[in-house]
Homo-oligomer: A and B are copies of this chain.
Amino acid sequence: MLQSANLHYDKQINDAVLLGSEPNSIQELFRKQPVERLVAGQSLFFEGDAAKHLFEVVEGTLRIFKIISDGRRVITGFLHAGDIVGVSLKDRYLYSAEAITNTKVRRFSRKAFDNEVAGSPQLRPEVFARLCDEMAAAQDQMVLLSCKSAEERICTFLLRELLRAASDGEVDFVIELPMTRLDIADYLGLTIETVSRSITKLTSKGVLAPVGRHSLRVVKRSALVQLSGGDDELARDGWKLAGCERRPRH
């Protein structure tokens, strides 16, 4: 698998040794690797394949997903510039990865990576931190999927994207959504129709405003927070919640 038809990947990439300079961040490790290009829709690797490489996303967006036996697809995450994919892997990929947009990645041999990390007390905490973040994100997603309504899911998703955009320096309240509605639906455990309807409803409420085909403007951020059933990943601090009476689900 992974025929890498039009991948710029021929050279001695796997054996990068990085003599001399001890890298003290994961990013640095990848910096010397050549950039490979993926066109929109192209696969990077498949669930079940031997996990020989890690990847750093340089530019663009990927989806990672599982296909279950009856053909249903579950998207477990989206990857953006700066993300590393494959840290939490043993010998096989747990999921498939595909480019949503045209994407640039850097590749690093898993074995070399493990060696680098094993030999560097600098790197280990960073790897560990990334694993923890990944775990925290997975738990947030479980919360979302466990007990949030369609609208709450959409709002949570949009807030995450907004937060990410903000941390990337985007100051205006415009969210880029390179993925299709089907991607969003498969990520949030909904259908395209429900996703579409929820977004329509939010725009008609004046919370969102459409900006071109693949972007949304957040008009009322506070309303979005309100409607997201706010628990996680915004206020990872204020642990107040005294009364624990259960509320109806929806």
Contacts and interface: CB of A to CB of B under 8 A. Distances in A.
A246 interface: yes
Interface residues of A, number: 50
A231 B68 contact: yes
Interface stretch (A104-112, A124-132, A160-168, A209-217): A124-132
Contacts of A95: 139
Please report whether the interface of chain A is mostly helix, strand, loop or mixed according to DSSP. Answer: loop
Given A88-B132, A134-B135, A76 B142 contact: yes
B73 A246 contact: yes
Given A118-B124, A146-B74, A189-B146, A230 B69 contact: yes
16 contacts: A47-B239, A66-B139, A66-B143, A68-B143, A68-B229, A71-B241, A71-B247, A72-B147, A72-B247, A72-B249, A74-B146, A90-B129, A94-B136, A95-B139, A142-B142, A145-B146
